[in-house]
Amino acid sequence: MAPRIGGVRLVHDGWARFLVAEVIPEDGTRMTREIEDHGRAVAVLPYDPERRVATLVSQFRAPVLYSEGPPTHMEVPAGLLDEGAAEDEARREAMEETGLRLSALDLIASAWSMPGISTERMDLFLAAYGVADRTGAGGGLAAEGEAVAVHEIPLRDLAAMGWDGRLTDMKSLVLLYALQLRRPDLF
């Protein structure tokens, strides 16, 4: 018999949901596992191939600070998948956080971000943009308490950040490495 979930108990329902699941493995024993029920998410690395820059954001991340990291964290624009298609949500997040209007998106992967603890599955995109696509200020949504700083970084510098450990966000690293593989001419 394949492993199965015997039951689930909700222990917190807020921005994220936390569950305790009873898991019944193949041998029929019972164990519990905690699950952070986050749902689907999207992330996008906007890059300008003409000027050879990428746009990332930084903002306060409580878990990073709690884990003795810096008070702000550099990463690609990302967010939860609300109700629309992943591509539409990635475009919305990019506009809210960076002020960039993105059109064509290149899907890199749809992957579990932390399969040992979270239900989050993230669709990762690359998106080329040009100077004319900066149509807003970015900065996130004040109503959601977001204070997002926008950073346009030369791709060569971003690659160095990835290699020397200054870029510490997993989704951002995956997208940076994907761009390097697909467009080595930009670096």
| Residue given tokens 């160095």 in the structure block | 160
Bridge partner residues of 35 (DSSP): 19
Query: Residue 138: which pLDDT band, with cuts at 50, 70 and 90?
Result: confident
- Please give the Cα distance from 182 to 187 (Å, whole number): 11
Q: What is the Cα–Cα distance from 2 to 45, expressed in whole angstroms?
A: 38
- Cα angle vertex 128, ends 126, 133, to 5°? 130
> Tell me, what's the pLDDT at 126?
98
| pLDDT per residue as tens digits for the range 99-117 | 999 999 999 999 999 999 9
Beta bridge partners of 45: 126
pLDDT digits (tens, 9 = 90+) for 150-179: 999 999 999 999 999 999 999 999 999 999
